[in-house]
Amino acid sequence: MMRRIAAVLAGLAFTLPTSVSAGPVPDGYKLEQVLMLSRHNIRAPLANNGSVLAKVTMQKWPDWEVPGGYLTVKGGVLETYMGRAVAGWLVEQGLLARDACPAPGSVYLYANSLQRTVATAQFFAAGAFPGCDVALHHQDKMGTMDPVFLPAFHDEDENAKAEAVTAMTARARQLQLTPGYRLLNTILGFKNSQSCSQDRLCDLTKGSDSFSAKKGEEPNTAGSLKLGNAVIDAFTLQYYEGFALKDIAWGKIRNDAQWQTLAAVKNGYQETLFTTPAVARDVARSTLAYITGAFARPETGKAVPVTLMFGHDSNIASVLAALEANSYDLPGQDEKTPIGGLIQFQRWRDTKGGRDLFRLDYVYQTKQQLREGSELGARNPPRRVTLTLKACPADANGFCPWSDFVKVLP
C-alpha cells in the first residue's frame, strides 16, 4: 500500500486534474466563490478492541494497521484522488488556472486539529495542488477539537437543554431500527457477550436509550443506539478499507439488503443526535459562523475564492439540518454523510441576468468506489447531487437567489 500511495503522489505531479461530473450550468453563469465542508476519509474505528467492541461479542475483531481514529493509508490514497477530481472541477469553472499553482490568497485550507482531519487535508492538497506551496491551517494543539469543528452545546439555558433532550428522545422513538438490532444480535452473538453478562443488556431490541445535553459537550446517548452505531461503523470501515468479505462482520453480512438494514441504525444515530432543530441550531453554531464569515461582503472582492474545511460527519449533518436542507438521497451510498464526501456552498453570478445565485452540491464516492479504491477520472467520477434548502427555493438546475441564502445564515 505504501508503494501504491508513493506512485499516486508521483504520478499527480505530471498529470492534469480530472473533472468532477458537474450538474447542468446555464450559459452565462460564472462561479465566483466556493466553500467546501468535507468529512475526513477512511479511518480505523474509534471504538477499538479494548473498549466497547470487546464487550459486544466474544469473537475476535480484525486488527488495523493504524491506531483507532487515525486516517489509513488507503484513506490517504482516496483523498488524493478526490482532491485531484475537485481541483479539475475548479479549473473547469474558472476558479483555478490550468497547469499552474493557485495564486496567493486564492485558496484557504482549514482542518480540525485531529490526525485524521489534518492528514485528510494534506492528502487532498497533494492531489489538488501537486508541487504547490498551499498552506494548511489548524490550531497548534493536535489531538483536541477546534471549537469551530466541535459540535457541542453552547446554550446554558436549562430549558433549552431540556428541549434538546426531549427532541432527541422523540426522534429516537420514531426510528424503525428493530430489524437492524435483530441482525446485530445474530452477527455479534450478543447474548453471549460481556454486555449481556455484565450490563444485563442481552438483546439490542430491548435496550433503552438515554440522552444528554451539556454545555461544552457534544450530544450524547447511552444504550442500544450508541452500541449499534459503534459496531456498524466498524463494519462499514472494514468494507471501505478493503478487508476480505470473510473478515467483515465475520462473513455474516451477505447482501446489500443487510447492509442497508444496518445503515439505518448508523444513520438513525446521527439523525437523532445532530439533526433535530433543537440540537442542530446550537451545535452547528460555530461552524456556521465560520462559513458566514467566509462569505461576508463578497462585493469587496476580498473574499477567498476557494475555502476548504476538513471536519466530520457531525459537522455536515448538523450544518445541513440547521440550514433546513430538504431530505436527500445519495445514489450508491448507504451513509447520509459518506466518508470523504463534501458539501459545496457555491456563489454564482448570472452575467446575463445580473443576479447572484447560490447552489449547494454534495460530492462523494459510492460505497463501491471506496471499497475498490479505483482512481477517479472522467470515466469514474465522484458523484454529485444538488441539495436544496427550504428557505431558498431552487430552480430546475438547483440555483436559488443568493439574497435568500444569506437570510438563512446566522
Q: What is the CA radius of gyration of the chain?
A: 21
- Cβ pair 336, 357 in contact under 8 A: no
Q: Which of 171, 274, 269, 277 shows the shortest CA–CA distance to 224?
A: 269
Neighbouring CB atoms inside 10 A of 325's CB total 20
- Cβ pair 339, 44 in contact under 8 A: no
Q: From the candidates 40, 138, 209, 334, give the one annotated as an active-site residue.
A: 40
Residue 187 cell numbers, joined: 452477527
Distance set, CA 42 to CA 45, 47, 73, 120, 230 (Å) = 9, 14, 9, 9, 15
Residue 232 cell numbers, joined: 456498524
Place of cell 483555478: 96
Q: From the candidates 209, 233, 313, 361, give the one annotated as an active-site residue.
A: 313
Q: Which of 110, 31, 120, 65 shows the shortest CA–CA distance to 357?
A: 31
260 vs 321: CA distance, rounded Å:
22
Told to judge if 313 belongs to the known catalytic residues of this protein, a careful annotator would answer yes
Residue 270 cell numbers, joined: 446521527
262, HSE (Cβ side, Cα atoms, 13 Å) = 26
Backbone angles phi, psi at 69, to 5 degrees: 90, -10
- Cβ pair 400, 357 in contact under 8 A: yes
CA angle centred on 184, ends 179 and 185, rounded to 5°: 100
Q: Are strands 355-364 and 383-387 parallel, antiparallel or unpaired?
A: antiparallel
Distance set, CA 32 to CA 341, 358, 406 (Å) = 22, 10, 16
Using a CB cutoff of 8 Å and minimum separation of 24, what contacts does 245-253 make?
247/62, 249/187, 250/59, 250/187, 252/186, 252/187, 253/187
Residue 21 cell numbers, joined: 461530473
What residues act catalytically? 40, 313
